[in-house]
Amino acid sequence: MNILEVNHISKKAGRRTLVNDISFTVGEGDVCGFIGPNGAGKTTLIRMMTGLIRPDNGTIRLNGFDIRRDRIQAMNGAGAIVESPIFFPYMSGRDNLLNLAKLHADLPKDKRAARVEEVLGIVGLDGRGGDKVRTYSLGMKQRLGIAQALLGNPRLILLDEPANGLDPMGIRELRRLISELNEKHGITFFVSSHLLDELQRVCTRFVMIREGRLLWQGSREEWQRAAGERSLEDYFVEMMTS
Ligand SMILES: Nc1ncnc2c1ncn2[C@@H]1O[C@H](COP(=O)(O)OP(=O)(O)OP(=O)(O)O)[C@@H](O)[C@H]1O
């Protein structure tokens, strides 16, 4: 089953076309890398996928629900970090999550605290849940962001440039967390990134865009067949410049 379907999506800002008739699908259980150079339209597309902005044309379905017509149901099964997650720095990670848990109508009041402990444990922040967020490293803030995305028990998580600004250790932890959530909890991921090497290690599928247009989509195996001996990075640069 396709957990994410993007059908003929276009978006203009004034006369400028930011996204031009893009279609692709992501199957349940995939970790899909979303690749494109700066300004390709990745953030614009992810913002449309989460219903933050409206496309001019086309439809987007999350878990089978149209994000425009049935946003609540569509986002019910999805979690997202689109801009850097914003937390109150003077509150603990745990209290931030308890606060955000109130937004999940399907999480009853008496289950909130247990769910918060559970997601803190999943992202490896259980030992630091009581510390104020301002004492967290960027990597810990990213993990707290993922914990927030996990609160509603999503089947799909969308991440826009989650590795931005992270050091190599932070990137490795993030990669491990994505793999673990995918393998142990069956969560599908759609992750935009410039870090091709990182994506190559974790992704089962790729969607590539340039100047608002779809350039390539396919599985890791198809990608490897096409790239041959070349590294993902070399092949990417070749496709982007051809
Ligand atoms: N509201 C807007 N009005 C005009 N132009 C915009 C608007 N939003 C985005 N753009 C432009 O659209 C293009 C695509 O932007 P977008 O942020 O989606 O790209 P991106 O692929 O996420 O890039 P990056 O990797 O640099 O974050 C950019 O050239 C950007 O300047």
For 25-40, the pLDDT digits (tens) are: 999 999 999 998 888 9
Q: Which of 64-78, 105-119, 221-235 has the lowest mean pLDDT?
A: 221-235
More confident residue, 188 or 138: 188
Q: Ligand 1 atom 27: the closest Cα is on which residue? A: 38
Tell me: the pLDDT tens digits for 38-67?
889 999 999 999 998 999 999 999 999 999
CA of 191 to the centre of ligand 1 (A): 17
CA nearest to 92, candidates 136, 137, 146, 152? 136
Distance 57 CA to ligand 1 centre (A): 18
| CA of 13 relative to ligand 1 center, distance in Å | 10
- Whole-angstrom Cα distance, residue 120 to residue 117? 5
Asked whether residue 233 carries a pLDDT value surpassing 70, the answer given is yes
As a whole number, mean pLDDT of residues 164-178 equals: 88
pLDDT digits (tens, 9 = 90+) for 125-136: 999 999 999 999
Global pTM? Answer: 0.92
Ligand 1 proximity of 15 Cβ (cutoff 6 Å) = no
Cα→Cα distances 13→6, 10, 56, 57, 160, Å: 19, 10, 10, 13, 20
Cα of 77 to ligand 1 centre, how many Å? 27
Question: Quick check: 83 pLDDT over 80?
Answer: no
Q: What is the mean pLDDT of residues 66-94?
A: 88
Tokens representing 196?
């091709």
Q: What is the average per-residue pLDDT within 178-194?
A: 93
The burial of 12, by beta-carbon neighbours within 10 Å (0-12 exposed, 13-18 middle, 19 or more buried), is given as middle
209 CA closest ligand 1 atom index: 21
The string of pLDDT tens digits covering residues 153-170 is 999 999 998 888 888 888
217 Cβ closer than 6 Å to some ligand 1 atom? no
